[in-house]
Amino acid sequence: MNRKEQGKMKFTEQIRNDLQSGNTFLGIEFGSTRIKASLIDAGHRPIASGSFQWENRLENGVWTYRLEDAMAGLQACYADLIKNVVQAYGVTPETYRAIGFSGMMHGYLALDKNGRLLTPFRTWRNTMTDEAAQELTALFSYHIPQRWSIAHLYHSIQNGEAHVANIDHLTTLAGYVHWRLTGERVLGVDEASGMFPIDTAAKQFHPRMLSAFDTLIAQRQYPWKLADILPRVAVAGEPAGRLTEEGALLLDPAGTLQPGVPLCPPEGDAGTGMVATNSVQPRTGNVSVGTSVFAMVVLEKELSRLYREIDLVTTPAGDPVAMVHCNNGTSDLDGWVSLIRDCMRTCGAEADADTLYRSLFEAADRADADCGGLVGCNYLSGEHITAFSEGRPLFIRLPDAHFSAANFMRAQLYGVFASLRIGMDILTRSESVKIAGLCGHGGFFRVPGVGQRMMADALNTPVTVLDTAGDGGPWGMAILAAYMAQKTKDETLAGYLSDRVFTADGGSTLSPDPAEAEGFEIYLERYRLLLDAERSALKIKS
């Protein structure tokens, strides 16, 4: 047996011992298309994972996920994790040092005093709350996005929805799962900042704005004050309850998992992305690319004024963050790839999804810098950055365009970043926010180098992709669980990440290519003009 094999055997034996003693940390994240689990050791190394595919539904004009699907998906994801652990190490875990849950931020999940859902879960993707969001923005002098929980609540109040009087508990998907497993109504501060504005000095919901909202709706005479129905806010490192007997059986119906495991505060996918990319200090930032695409930039100071395109949220430690969130990311791209795959099958050819994505991404890397006169708008749903309440995916080409597969794919990849770039220009040009570089994460970066180059050229800034980019949000959530259990008394989250997690180079950085960046500028100008046609396309109804 050589030295490498001996090292691998020793590592496997150590992990087996950690699994048996419960010296591991579990993070589970509810993403928009997958529920994912990441199990890590005390050194933050991923040792096993699990997943479950799911999809949102458009029901009665509302984007939603059914909570029974969420809980069934949670169980399936955990079962997949355990299956993979047993196959790799021959051990079935009975406990962990800590667990954490995260999910898609924002949305509206209202429960009555018996824990029953009062109205279908309204996700971040919905854009029906424009009037409510604008009125609250004026009331608070603070930008309230349409997808925030408070905008959905006020929208329900404006519509006179009967369920509002019966609300006992308002939360998010991550908060709901955490409550089901612990009985605790609590949210991490980053996730909470997607429900209602945070006072970053106190790291709690903003008291002046809470009072202003209660005054606004006083004549409705509801039996609650806003603070009574919102969750408790906790910062990273604080304990947030323990796994109950009921919760252990809910997560693991097989009954192997034991109750009593500590849980850290549940967080949003934006917060776990910041942790997973070591982007919690000023001038750092990250971009998550998936069904939605959003950038998080940690601020050195508050912005000079209110911008309706920029959301103000926090890191999991409660520090201020500017968020540029675009509802539309890779969904239209995925649709085109699915169509190409279907065309191949019609011709008797076949390719698995990973091979097809890799081939098409690599083709895009050989395309003309400006996409050869091709441009696409990827709006499957509304987009607040450019003031669209609905979307119609749209693709056009100039009559003399170089209409090739490579240019077509680059146009789709550039389209993923176009609206994001429009929002980022507010920070970098209007506010002179300094960004040392951005870290990209999400499945978009699975093909080495290609998506990273496209993002660097589109945003005109260096982009780093870590070796752990594929582990993403659930790994970040597992790290937050480990931070709660392993931190020293005065150890900050930023210090913990720098000193214990990201201690060595583990990724690559690409800077923008001047010629390619100029090509994106040409594409972006065409994209802006295409938005006029996009507005006309909204007249086309189902």
Amino acid symbol at 517: A
Going from the C-alpha of 475 to that of each of 244, 275, 535, the distances in angstroms are 23, 9, 40
How high is the pLDDT of residue 483?
A: 98
On the CB side of 342, how many CA atoms lie within 13 Å of its CA? Answer: 6
Q: What 8-state DSSP symbol labels residue 443?
A: G
pLDDT value at residue 34: 92
| Structural domain boundaries in the chain | 23-86+96-268, 278-468+512-542
Burial class (CB in 10 A: 0-12, 13-18, 19+), 91: middle
Spatial contact of 53 and 34, defined as CB atoms under 8 Å apart? yes
- CA dihedral (405, 409, 415, 418) in degrees, to 10, reads -100
Query: What is residue 37's three-state secondary structure?
Result: strand
Residues 463 and 437 sit within 8 Å (Cβ to Cβ):
yes
Query: Cβ contacts of residue 27 below 8 Å, gap of 6+?
Result: 37, 38, 40, 99, 100, 101, 102, 272, 473, 474, 475, 476, 477, 478, 479, 480, 481
430 DSSP assignment: I
Listed as ranges, residues in the chain with pLDDT below 70 are 1-7, 468-471, 505
Query: CA–CA separation, 447 vs 469, rounded Å?
Result: 11
Helix (H) or strand (E) run with residue 358 in it:
helix 353-364
User: Would residue 122 be called left, alpha or beta, if left means φ above 0 and alpha means ψ between -120 and 50 degrees?
Assistant: beta
Q: For residue 1, what pLDDT is reported?
A: 56
Residue 77's H or E segment, with its range, is helix 67-89
Structure letter (DSSP) for residue 264: P
Whether 533 and 396 have beta carbons less than 8 Å apart is answered as yes
Give residue 210's pLDDT.
98
User: How many CB atoms neighbour CB 162 within 10 A?
Assistant: 10
Do 23-86+96-268 and 278-468+512-542 fold alike per CATH? yes
Name beta bridge partners: 268: 103
- Domain 278-468+512-542 is of which CATH architecture? 2-Layer Sandwich (3.30)
What is the Cα–Cα distance from 53 to 122, expressed in whole angstroms? 19
Bridge partners of residue 29, in order along the sequence: 36, 102
Q: In terms of CATH architecture, what is 23-86+96-268? A: 2-Layer Sandwich (3.30)
